[in-house]
Structure 1
């Protein structure tokens, strides 16, 4: 016996009712359970659909709750999507699990336009005068288990006091502090786990955070230079589907949606088939079978094979962390067995030759770095492309990428109570602060100054058009004097260095654009 409940009501089925229910593996398709079109008699189901077949009724996308029962067994618990309406019949498609989640999120719904709430901590917690006690730092800089967002300093574009948002003033000689002294430069920075949870909840689901348990990614936070208290304002202008695509690539996971509990969770690609709750279909239960040819081509979200790179520009100071393959191939390279051997050769070179040489020791890269009148060796390309096949192009590009961090002296202050003024002292206080900025450029094939190429002063003419278009799309439009970067999402993350000759981890920021 087959029973179909739509919008809580038992649907009337035709006498010759027949349907096909497909079940796909989300590991391969990101989908799960869905039916082909199901035809229902219109007149017998007015209680569910109303008089939607009438000409004077506005037709719009309609999604209703649905439960499919066969012989007292629930085969599907999800939604019924209205596909078409005729005078005597109506067609619906049933979806559940990943298929239902995709349906709800696949429209042009952008994460930065969702109502994900806000955080008014810098407003309600601001003292009338003086500093806050150190015990209140947790409200501003606590972990993801303590707060939804943090208010750490961030530079926009340049290391310039005028571009410093979320500044903090610390009292000289104590741990007392004044967070976000300039309200118009206050930028919310939600934890990534907060963002995912709120997006999932926006669509009526619950997010299972167990993937982040005992995981260094647990306290990843979104760093934004957008002056706002709204969580969504810190996010890039991506659709919800794009957002989850990039998360899956970066985290090496797939998204699994439980159709019964409405819980969304992440499963590691390597662990997906190790779970014991997989349903095994007996051979005699298969009604139809077919075969397809499988291309030897990996999906671009699979970073387990092929060449992988961060979508990080090899221009501006950010570019010292990752050099474009084009730059490395075009540069005049000299390889050495040891770093000491490199230093000896470097000291014997003329300044002109130093500038045109990319020094290589194993998998580590160095350039001559000029600052004023001083030349020195600087290590670059710590976040190099992962090249498995030098003959092929990059097959996966991560739009969550390392960004630049600078050490900056924010200083210490004293509070003058007689005129409510904060005066900076001579005592230094250095912070590691991210800088949000990037652009891209090409390279000449002849010998060129490596530092100038990284900083954007060398261009390859035949690629200039592609580069300019890329830059134009990434330039935000400003409506006020406050710098905004609404197309950028940055996350503080303890990333592994991609150069496998280097050991350990490196605390850094990640930028999504």
Structure 2
């Protein structure tokens, strides 16, 4: 028997009732569970009362109610979600039921803007005590940080700080451009929310709860959204961004997938490579001998992105800063290339850069039209600067470049452009440090988020012909792409919060300031002194190669090119997100489709599967009786226990 409950009321189904229910795996599609059209007659009192509000509407676009809908057959829940009205007449109404990821897609459909989510947090006016607390503490103890950010539009620093070291170090909000008495300017303090908290707040505003976040517990939980929008409302911090676009970019950047539980309305943000870890295996019975194998053409793009088989790059704005950190193709084509043993170069004060003449000998200089790559790891790239009249007696030094280079595959399936990217961190001028009763001028490096969509100036491109141009000129004059000048939504800029100890290079002193700072890589280049500051010792970086190591690589081996469609009479109701064993072969499921009539499930069900290589210990959790802990990689012993080999 099949039953349909709308907002807790049992609807009357027609005698010839028939509907198809589809349950899809969000790892391979954007959908979850949903039904095709269900047609209900309005000639009976129950259904007429359920849909009497339709008489007062002129079009289906005006239907705003999102009532609960539960479809039950044979005492099993096939769909538990939200009712979607697709059309009606005087005699009948057509509805669909969306559940899980499909329900979320329906709620955020039609490009729902984050700015429209009134349920997101609103930070109260920041007091001096609260300001200090959000500098001294980090996630998860606080929801946002207050590191300094430069507002390009207003041409001033937001979240300004000065440092007082009379006696013990103290953090005091104030005007960083003044050497006079500290004058708190708390109106210029704008919260910079941690990315983990922002994601959680977004789902809470949508009526969901985020229970698992793949960023939590990793170095990337220190990431915060860097912005210069003068607002305390979190929903206004990403203007122009829709919920769907934001979630899609998160999935791309961290190779994850959002999985929605249709009953609890809980959401998990899972790494694709660990999607099937500790999943149970379902053994499907009564499978028909006839099946279909559909092989995709090599030219066809897969439905979902396999980031390990795709070219990946950040969608950087076009300016000299990012041309230096992600060398344009024109620069790479025009510059000479060579390798060098970075380990043979002694470090300079404060970090990483070595003297060029130590490598070449005192009679030679670095060629400024050459890009040098670390020959051992090829992880870091450099170009050189020669001594000039302005730096008499100075020796040539390495300049780190191409830190955030694109990843290019040998035979890419797709091209992925990430719109969540590292924030631009540059020196904004001279700020003042007060110590021992005297003023000391030092350069401060802070994030400078782009506010105009990222279009920048371009210049003439070097064609690599005779008379090569120095790499620095190539970077300053190269254009990364074309721009029609049309403003678009800003990219989302993120950075790691580094706490309140900022290492700063000064002409007379190398000092550490108790000023909050942000970073995006392991080293920060100080242009004034041609040296590097090591921003963190934990290797936290937004290099694409490090994202790949941390999030993208894994053991998930699924053949999405060869779909296998099977038909089964197995009476069980299976979750497509699990692992399936069919005729002694292991598969993962893309989708399962059932047909229901008034009497219950009708006939066999069909499923689309992908061949997968998943180990026993990955597919099934192992229980150790001795200590009551879950283990993987176990072996079976004669005494009936699983132990790690």
Normalising by structure 1, report the TM-score: 0.79
With over 3 angstroms needed to count, the CA separation of the structure-2 counterparts of 1:365 and 1:157, relative to structure 1, is farther
Instruction: Check conservation: 1:224, 1:490, Cα contact below 8 A.
Output: yes
With over 3 angstroms needed to count, the CA separation of the structure-2 counterparts of 1:141 and 1:231, relative to structure 1, is farther
Q: Hey, what's the Cα distance between the residues in 2 that align with 1:307 and 1:453?
A: 24
Cα RMSD (Å): 3.7
Instruction: Check conservation: 2:122, 2:234, Cα contact below 8 A.
Output: yes
Q: Does residue 1:165 correspond to 2:183, yes or no?
A: no
Any gaps of 5 or more consecutive residues in structure 1?
Answer: 127-131, 415-422, 475-485, 498-502
Q: Hey, what's the Cα distance between the residues in 2 that align with 1:234 and 1:54?
A: 38
Q: Does residue 1:454 correspond to 2:475, yes or no?
A: yes
Any gaps of 5 or more consecutive residues in structure 2?
Answer: 175-183, 346-355, 497-518, 523-535, 545-645
With over 3 angstroms needed to count, the CA separation of the structure-2 counterparts of 1:18 and 1:166, relative to structure 1, is same
Q: Hey, what's the Cα distance between the residues in 2 that align with 1:91 and 1:355?
A: 70
Q: Hey, what's the Cα distance between the residues in 1 that align with 2:389 and 2:112?
A: 49
Instruction: Check conservation: 2:420, 2:491, Cα contact below 8 A.
Output: no
With over 3 angstroms needed to count, the CA separation of the structure-2 counterparts of 1:41 and 1:496, relative to structure 1, is farther
Partner of 2:462: 444
Q: Does residue 1:381 correspond to 2:402, yes or no?
A: yes
Q: Hey, what's the Cα distance between the residues in 2 that align with 1:79 and 1:274?
A: 30
Q: Hey, what's the Cα distance between the residues in 2 that align with 1:87 and 1:401?
A: 53
Instruction: Check conservation: 1:141, 1:151, Cα contact below 8 A.
Output: no
Match of 2:329 among 319, 325, 350: 325
Q: Hey, what's the Cα distance between the residues in 1 that align with 2:427 and 2:274?
A: 39
Which secondary structure does the structure 1 equivalent of 2:197 belong to? helix
Q: CA deviation at 1:172?
A: 3.2
Q: Hey, what's the Cα distance between the residues in 2 that align with 1:150 and 1:39?
A: 52
Partner of 1:176: 170
Q: Hey, what's the Cα distance between the residues in 2 that align with 1:189 and 1:405?
A: 15
Instruction: Check conservation: 2:404, 2:543, Cα contact below 8 A.
Output: no
Which secondary structure does the structure 2 equivalent of 1:226 belong to? coil
Q: Does residue 1:120 correspond to 2:124, yes or no?
A: yes
Deviations for 1:117-136, whole angstroms, at most 9, x for unmatched residues? 211252xx24xxxxx6xx97
Match of 1:367 among 380, 383, 389: 383
Q: Hey, what's the Cα distance between the residues in 2 that align with 1:346 and 1:436?
A: 42
**Number of residues of Structure 1 aligned to a counterpart in Structure 2:** 465
Answer 1 or 2: higher relative contact order, Cα 8 Å, separation at least 6: 2
Instruction: Check conservation: 2:34, 2:98, Cα contact below 8 A.
Output: yes
With over 3 angstroms needed to count, the CA separation of the structure-2 counterparts of 1:347 and 1:399, relative to structure 1, is farther
Q: What does residue range 261-280 of structure 1 map to in structure 2 within 5 Å?
A: 261-276=264-279, 280=282
Deviations for 1:461-484, whole angstroms, at most 9, x for unmatched residues? xx8xx6232x5425xxxxxxxxxx
Instruction: Check conservation: 1:172, 1:427, Cα contact below 8 A.
Output: no
Instruction: Check conservation: 1:221, 1:492, Cα contact below 8 A.
Output: yes
Q: CA deviation at 1:36?
A: 0.7
With over 3 angstroms needed to count, the CA separation of the structure-2 counterparts of 1:424 and 1:112, relative to structure 1, is farther
Match of 2:369 among 356, 362, 372: 356
Q: Hey, what's the Cα distance between the residues in 1 that align with 2:235 and 2:486?
A: 23
Partner of 2:501: none
Partner of 2:16: 16
Larger radius of gyration: 2
With over 3 angstroms needed to count, the CA separation of the structure-2 counterparts of 1:90 and 1:250, relative to structure 1, is same
More helix, by proportion:
1
Partner of 1:399: 419
Q: Hey, what's the Cα distance between the residues in 2 that align with 1:337 and 1:413?
A: 42
Which secondary structure does the structure 2 equivalent of 1:29 belong to? coil
Match of 1:467 among 470, 482, 489: 482
Q: Hey, what's the Cα distance between the residues in 1 that align with 2:409 and 2:292?
A: 35
Normalising by structure 2, report the TM-score: 0.64
Q: CA deviation at 1:496?
A: 7.5
Match of 1:46 among 38, 45, 48: 48
Instruction: Check conservation: 2:219, 2:540, Cα contact below 8 A.
Output: no
Q: Does residue 1:75 correspond to 2:57, yes or no?
A: no
Instruction: Check conservation: 2:101, 2:259, Cα contact below 8 A.
Output: yes
Q: What does residue range 235-246 of structure 1 map to in structure 2 within 5 Å?
A: 235-246=238-249
Deviations for 1:434-484, whole angstroms, at most 9, x for unmatched residues? 2224545473323434223323x345xxx8xx6232x5425xxxxxxxxxx
Q: CA deviation at 1:175?
A: 2.8
Instruction: Check conservation: 1:186, 1:229, Cα contact below 8 A.
Output: no
Which secondary structure does the structure 1 equivalent of 2:417 belong to? strand
